[in-house]
């Protein structure tokens, strides 16, 4: 064989090697690993398992979920960042790992949210809703802002903890509207929400799935959703952005990424796989029924979204006085 044919053959082997592995029939060789920052059970774990269950149908290779909870998601992110970039490991990333943690941990963060990963696609938006105790004399955002300005620091709001997305949603609201409220953190949403219903505190930014039953029962009054777009679970409720504050936009989000160095062809292929899974009618019904808004995009669009998130949070975290200490 002439030398140039040998060289061409070697080049083709190198270029096609990742896809030679991924194109093997289902059940042959290793499974694709999906690392998640959540323990078994709960929304994030369910999202990861939904993707794993549909992986074989659209990629020809089975997948499994590996739970790596702890340290605000940092354990899972280090695991994903250090994985071989061969297409056999992908993982969930989220607003905490690629938005809040870089602002909270600074130089202590054990991974680089941009350099250590290759974005594949957004998966879902987990939107919050601003709720108040029914005793608060406000039925929309403008009335609530007027009430807060007339009563500075006399209204308290609950959150699931310092530095949580709920805490920072409220701080962003204060910055955007020029109002003052007192923060009362609790150890989780399940502990904070009853405090709003009992009027121990008057307001809270709550994940839609957890707030909806209490909104329907009349125990809470919903004023607005936090995302710029309306939520599929509460389509009648207008966003804060539509009620006079167009710059306000906050959604907890979840996406999929691969380790740095993963071939572009693999990333594009997995983007298509994720989109196909999330377009299945049963998956759409399941996730939207739980208050999640399915949102997919291209790898480049997701990369731009992450850059926006990384720029958004440092001033909000600083204003909130949130710290990891």
Q: What is the pLDDT, as a whole number, of residue 325?
A: 55
Give me the CATH number covering residue 142.
3.40.190.10
Tell which residue, 123, 105, 157, 114, has the closest CA to residue 253: 123
Q: What is the pLDDT, as a whole number, of residue 324?
A: 62
Single residue among 243, 260, 294 that ends a domain in this structure: 243
- 86, 31: one domain: yes
- 198, 261: one domain: no
- 121, 256: one domain: yes
Q: What is the pLDDT, as a whole number, of residue 323?
A: 67
| Structure tokens, 210 | 């957890």
> How many domains does one find in the chain?
2
The answer to whether 211 and 131 have CB atoms below 8 angstroms apart is: yes
- 116, 265: one domain: yes
* Residue environment code for 277-286, b if the CB has 16+ CB neighbours within 10 A, otherwise e: bbeeeebeee
Confirm whether 325 is domain-assigned: no
Distance CA 26, CA 55 (A): 10
Q: For residue 283, give every residue at least 6 positions away whose Cβ sits within 8 Å of its Cβ, in sequence order, or none.
A: 50, 54, 277, 294
Single residue among 243, 267, 286 that ends a domain in this structure: 243
Confirm whether 173 is domain-assigned: yes
pTM over 0.85: no
- Domain of residue 97 covers 3-125+251-320
Q: Which residues pair with 256 in a beta bridge?
A: 92, 121
- 269, 170: one domain: no
| Structure tokens, 310 | 């990384």
Single residue among 217, 243, 269 that ends a domain in this structure: 243
Give me the CATH number covering residue 315.
3.40.190.150
DSSP label of 183:
E
The answer to whether 103 and 313 have CB atoms below 8 angstroms apart is: yes
| Structure tokens, 207 | 């994940």
Confirm whether 233 is domain-assigned: yes
- 11, 157: one domain: no
- 132, 191: one domain: yes
Q: Where is 288: in which H helix or E strand?
A: helix 281-289
Unique residue bearing structure tokens 């323990």:
39
Tell which residue, 314, 172, 166, 320, has the closest CA to residue 248: 172
| Structure tokens, 43 | 């929304």
Three-state DSSP state, 47: helix
Q: What is the pLDDT, as a whole number, of residue 23?
A: 38
Q: Where is 228: in which H helix or E strand?
A: none
The answer to whether 214 and 197 have CB atoms below 8 angstroms apart is: yes
- 260, 299: one domain: yes
Confirm whether 57 is domain-assigned: yes
Q: Which residues pair with 64 in a beta bridge?
A: 33
Instruction: Return per-residue pLDDT of the chain as tens, 325 residues.
Output: 444 343 333 333 333 334 333 433 334 458 999 999 988 887 889 999 999 999 999 998 999 999 999 888 999 999 999 999 999 999 999 998 999 999 989 889 999 999 999 999 999 988 899 999 999 999 999 999 999 999 999 999 999 888 888 888 999 999 999 999 999 999 788 889 999 999 999 999 998 888 989 999 999 999 999 998 898 888 999 999 999 999 898 888 999 999 999 999 999 999 999 999 999 999 999 998 888 889 999 999 999 999 999 998 898 888 777 766 5
- 258, 109: one domain: yes
Unique residue bearing structure tokens 């808004």:
293
- 160, 86: one domain: no
The answer to whether 3 and 35 have CB atoms below 8 angstroms apart is: no
- 162, 299: one domain: no
- 11, 121: one domain: yes
């Amino acid at each position: 064989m002439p030398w140039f044919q040998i060289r061409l053959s070697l080049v083709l082997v190198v270029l096609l090697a990742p896809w030679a592995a991924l194109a093997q029939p289902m059940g042959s060789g290793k499974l694709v690993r999906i690392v998640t920052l959540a323990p078994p059970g709960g929304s994030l774990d369910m999202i990861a398992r939904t993707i794993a269950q549909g992986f074989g149908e659209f990629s020809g290779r089975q997948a499994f979920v590996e739970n790596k909870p702890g340290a605000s998601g940092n354990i899972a992110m280090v695991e994903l960042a250090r994985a071989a970039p061969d297409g056999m490991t992908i993982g969930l990333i989220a607003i905490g790992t690629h938005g809040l943690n870089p602002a909270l941990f600074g130089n202590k963060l054990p991974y680089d949210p941009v350099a250590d990963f290759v974005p594949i696609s957004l998966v879902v938006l987990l939107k919050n809703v601003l709720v108040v105790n029914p005793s608060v004399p406000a039925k929309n955002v403008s009335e609530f802002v007027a009430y807060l300005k007339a009563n500075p620091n006399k209204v308290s709001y609950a959150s699931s903890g310092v530095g949580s997305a709920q805490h920072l949603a409220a701080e962003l609201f204060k910055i955007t509207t020029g109002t003052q409220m007192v923060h009362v953190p609790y150890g989780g949403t399940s502990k904070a929400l009853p405090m709003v219903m009992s009027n121990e505190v008057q307001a809270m930014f709550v994940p839609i799935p957890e707030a909806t039953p209490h909104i329907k029962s009349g125990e809470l009054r919903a004023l607005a959703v936090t995302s710029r777009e309306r939520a599929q679970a509460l389509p009648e409720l207008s966003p804060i952005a539509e009620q006079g504050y167009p710059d306000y936009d906050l959604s907890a989000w979840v996406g999929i990424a691969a380790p740095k160095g993963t071939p572009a062809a693999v990333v594009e292929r997995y983007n298509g796989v994720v989109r196909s899974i999330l377009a299945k009618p049963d998956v759409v019904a399941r996730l939207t029924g739980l208050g999640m808004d399915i949102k997919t995009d291209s790898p480049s669009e997701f990369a731009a979204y992450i850059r926006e998130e990384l720029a958004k949070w440092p001033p909000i975290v600083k204003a909130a006085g949130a710290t990891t200490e």
